[in-house]
Amino acid sequence: MGRRGGAIVAAASVLALVGCGSGGEGQAETKAQSEEPVFDPCSVPEDVLLAIGVDPATEERDIMGVKQPGWSLCSWRETDRAFYFTIFATGRPLDAIRTNERAIDVTSIDLPGRGEAFTFRETSDTLNKHCDVLLTAGPDTLMLRTSLAKGLPPAESPCPQAIENAKLLEPSLPR
């Protein structure tokens, strides 16, 4: 699967995790509109992206340029395509994502400068490729996803790198 295909699958899985588009006819659209994020995930300074290890020139907004109701997404990749970094922003509450049945290995972390912060993985991540850091930024909830192109052996975790990436990004996030 190519880079674009992998990014699409990762983004779609996160949107499925939080129930994007669920609800009755008309109800989902109204709910999503009221939960539009304020934070633009593509506003991350270039020096922060370089510190994380991704190439700012690889920026991709949304899913193949298509806006997802209730969400703003921005992703970048490392030059060698060893990992991808994606920021998902939503106006939905942190607990709605943290307590979703598809979120596994939910672990509280200390992220200086932030209140509650968690790492989690998704039940669908059978290749041990992804770790999300979940936190609030202003009125929004952010999921900072680090995706490893090849995954890791089951005994290892992509979460240490995800936490490090979140620490590098944290000073440039709204309070």
Q: Give me the pLDDT at residue 26, please.
A: 42
Residues near 43 by beta carbon (within 8 Å), at least 6 away in sequence: none
Among 54, 71, 5, residue whose Cα is nearest residue 165: 54
Q: Give me the pLDDT at residue 65, please.
A: 85
User: Which helix (H) or strand (E) covers residue 8, if one does?
Assistant: helix 3-17
Domain count, the chain: 1
Mean pLDDT of 133-154: 94
Domain that holds residue 28: 3-172
Q: What pTM was estimated for this model as a whole? A: 0.83
Residues near 3 by beta carbon (within 8 Å), at least 6 away in sequence: 77, 81, 84
**Residues 38-75 pLDDT 10s:** 999 999 999 999 999 999 999 999 998 899 999 999 99
- CATH number, position 158: 3.40.1000
